[in-house]
Homo-oligomer: A and B are copies of this chain.
Amino acid sequence: MNDATGMYIAETHTSAAVWQYRVEKMILEGRTRYQTYQICEVPRFGKSLFLDYNIQTSILDEYVFHECMSQPAMTLHPNPRNVVVCGGGEGATLREALKHNTVEKATMVDIDKELVDMVKQHMPEWHQGAFFDARTTLLHTDARQWLADKKGAGFDVVLSDLPNPHEDGPAQFLFTREYFQIAADAMSDEGVFAMQAGSANENYPECMVSCIETLESMDVFPHVAGYYGIVSTFFQPWGFVLASKRHDPLALTEEEIARRFAQRGVSNRYYTPRFHAAAFTLPEYLLEAKRHSGRVLTDAEPFAWTA
């Protein structure tokens, strides 16, 4: 009844809990300049990637996260041709964007070249060749700085698939109003921005609701909407935020989504026309958390994720 014998990767989930993922087989591990990584087999989740001992993705439901990361923004834009992915190491956010046959150019900017090189070779189930698509440009530099240099570039869609904003972590200033403004300035007049925004759970909603609050505080995005995906691998529903200069995601009908998917050759497993409305219907507790603990995140007062 109490045999816990085995190998585990333990992740501290706020002050409330420690989650120990069981490792059946270690496939590969290493350390880049920025982070440690392990690829391993976890029961029921299968092949999984951990960065700094935090699970990032598993083969079971990586599609949930990556469809949520890409598809709502890509679908909302009437004609996404020039797309940017900030971060997105596994290449699966890129893969999802490229599903839309309207895309002519997709630029992925991930600072960790060593990690992406490893992913190319050892995680083909994730990128599925997206790195080698003729439309893809892959850059290894600071995403915020790169976007700042692209002011006026007129990108159609910017997808911000970055690590959580840990205090002193590499992504803390990629969850602030200043960064969002830089992204807006690099986008066209009907540009759509989407980001992963942290847990959508009631016990740790502060990051997600503050991202919504921050994007809403900006004149440039008249349409801001939170949504979530049920990522079993994370042991919680995961939050995303979409911010749009012209098009309203809540006005998108099931029929219109289906029409665009057909036109663009898109087929999804999680973000389906039928499911769009449900994904954008936030539970009351998130609305309440936004009122109580949502705040505008700035470079001066960024979010500090609690380990």
> Contacts A16-B44, A19-B17, A284-B272 given: A2-B6 contact, CB under 8 Å?
yes
Question: Which B residues are in CB contact (< 8 Å) with A23?
Answer: 7
**0/1 per residue, A272-295, Cβ < 8 Å to B?**
101101100101110000000000
Identify which of residues 1-56 in chain A touch chain B, using a CB-to-CB cut-off of 8 Å. Answer: 1-23, 25-26, 29, 38, 42-45, 52-54
Contact of A284 among B42, B54, B270 (CB under 8 A): B270
User: A232 an interface residue at 8 Å Cβ cutoff?
Assistant: yes
Q: Is the CB of B15 within 8 A of A2?
A: yes
**0/1 per residue, A184-212, Cβ < 8 Å to B?**
00000000000000001111100000000
Contact of A53 among B5, B19, B29, B61 (CB under 8 A): B5
Q: Is the CB of A22 within 8 A of B38?
A: no
Q: Is the CB of B21 within 8 A of A16?
A: yes
How many copies of the polypeptide does the oligomer hold?
4
> Contacts A203-B45, A232-B236, A281-B275 given: A11-B2 contact, CB under 8 Å?
no
List the B residue with the shortest CB-CB distance to A280: B278
Q: Is the CB of B6 within 8 A of A283?
A: no
Complex Cα–Cα for A132 and B60 (A): 47
Q: Is the CB of A281 within 8 A of B284?
A: no
Number of interface residues of A (CB under 8 A): 60
Contact of A8 among B1, B18, B52, B281 (CB under 8 A): B18
Q: Is the CB of B43 within 8 A of A16?
A: yes
**0/1 per residue, A287-305, Cβ < 8 Å to B?**
0000000000000000000
List the B residue with the shortest CB-CB distance to A274: B281
Q: Is the CB of A10 within 8 A of B12?
A: no
Contact of A2 among B12, B25, B281 (CB under 8 A): B12
Name the distance in Å between A71's Cβ and chain B's nearest Cβ.
13
Complex Cα–Cα for A121 and B251 (A): 50
Question: Which B residues are in CB contact (< 8 Å) with A134?
Answer: none
Question: Which B residues are in CB contact (< 8 Å) with A236?
Answer: 232, 235-236
Contact of A269 among B21, B22, B284 (CB under 8 A): B284
Q: Is the CB of B42 within 8 A of A283?
A: no
Question: Which B residues are in CB contact (< 8 Å) with A64?
Answer: 202, 283, 285
Question: Which B residues are in CB contact (< 8 Å) with A257?
Answer: none
Complex Cα–Cα for A151 and B127 (A): 58
> Contacts A16-B43, A17-B21 given: A2-B5 contact, CB under 8 Å?
yes
Q: Which 5 A-B pairs have the closest CB atoms?
A: A4-B4, A278-B281, A15-B43, A235-B235, A201-B232
Provide 8 A-B residue pairs closer than 8 Å at the C-beta atoms, listed in order of the A residue.
Answer: A3-B307, A6-B53, A7-B7, A13-B235, A60-B202, A230-B237, A232-B236, A270-B283
